[in-house]
A and B are shown apart, each in its own frame.
Chain A
Amino acid sequence: MLSNCRSFIRTLPIIPVAAVIWIALTASAAIEVRESRKPNADTNLDNGLAAWQKVYSVLTSPRCINCHTATNYPQQADDRHRHFANVIRGPEGKGVPGLNCISCHQSANADSTGVPGGNNWHLAPLSMRWQDANDRPLSSAVVCRAVTNRSKNNNLGGPALLKHHEEEPLVLWAWNPGRRPDGSMRTLPPLSHAEFVAATRTWVEAGTPCPPAK
């Protein structure tokens, strides 16, 4: 009994030291975990937001935004002027009888006459307008919220948005826009299609984050 007490007393100084070491180790581990998780989450969000800005740069380029108007007419050309010949939106975004989009825009580009074309040429619905009524592009935050709002975007979730950007014929047309009537090539969006899809994928994988509304 006595020897046991002596042995215990001999080990007493070790206990606080061990405790300090244990506390220090666990605390540092906790800090490490906290620091490693938080930056990863932040990095994922930052990457997602950066990717969205790339996506936004394409959506607001003339090849895309010219048919995402808030008005009753489409736009044309890089200066995004009002479509000529009194073309109007019509009830379904396809023009009106006698003056439909497909009255001129066929299933493919007509380079000999300078008229662009693609499958089912039409305006985006007003719920997908990316401009205000004065033809100014909406902010990145506003467009992002519209694009991710399933009540406005034909009920597309993240994967479906990615598929839309990858495969939709009128989206693909932006990278094959054909020639202008003067024979020169139309301007392409600021990213290649592969870069656009990669940015969309990064954004979707980050949970389709949107910039804060101002």
Chain B
Amino acid sequence: METYQLNVNGQRKQVKVDPSTPLLWVLREELKMTGTKYGCGISACGACTVHVDGIATRSCVVPVSLIGDRPIVTIEAIAADPVGRAVQDAWVDKDVVQCGYCQSGQIMSAVALLKATPRPTDTNIEESMGGNLCRCATYVRIREAIKSASQQLK
């Protein structure tokens, strides 16, 4: 076991865990932040996406020992960011969610996309969101919501 000081959503959090523990399980089990979901455990579905130093990161495959001082932002705090707020509002407005399980990861990836590419094309959206799977097939509404958020952010 090792002790780590993590910067999560702007707050210092201390955890004592095995160094090999994936960040996902530190968030969910140690910090009780269950908004980030476990989907596949092999970075294939994107449900576990958080931001690490601004990069959309698959928390299920990143050991906590490799995080260091980099700031972590999870779905719980994404609304504090203007882009995050716009994306969440668009998600509600377009009624994107069906079962909802993958949606925190979808939103985190969408925010990363819009921060880097404020006016994404369909191709941009397909490429950036291509690693986020949705069993309910909400892809069309996800695309609409990303474009709507982009318009709101003009």
Contact = CB atoms under 8 A, between A and B. Distances in A.
Interface of A: 84-88, 90, 96-100, 102-104, 106-108, 110-115, 117, 181
Interface size class of B (residues with CB under 8 A): 20 to 34
B18 to A, nearest CB: 8
B58 interface: yes
Contact of A96 (B44, B58, B127): B127
Majority-rule SS of A interface residues: loop
Interface in B38-81: 42-44, 46, 49, 55-58, 60-63, 66
Contact of A113 (B61, B110, B127, B128): B61
Given A111-B20, A117-B66, A97 B131 contact: no
A99 B66 contact: no
Contacts of B109: 98-99
Contacts of A104: 43, 57-58, 61-62
20 contacts: A85-B43, A96-B128, A97-B113, A97-B115, A98-B49, A98-B131, A99-B56, A99-B109, A99-B128, A99-B129, A103-B43, A103-B55, A103-B131, A104-B61, A106-B62, A110-B62, A112-B21, A112-B63, A115-B43, A181-B42
Interface of B: 20-22, 42-44, 46, 49, 55-58, 60-63, 66, 109-110, 112-113, 115-117, 124, 127-132
Contacts of A114: 42, 61
A20 B44 CA distance: 85
Contact of A110 (B46, B61, B130): B61
A111 B66 CA distance: 11
Given A97-B116, A103-B55, A110 B66 contact: yes
Contacts of A86: 127, 130-131
Given A97-B112, A99-B130, A112 B20 contact: yes
Contacts of B132: 98
A102 B124 CA distance: 18
A113 B22 contact: yes
Nearest to B18: A112
B60 to A, nearest CB: 7
B127 A85 contact: no
A117 B63 CA distance: 11
Contacts of A181: 42
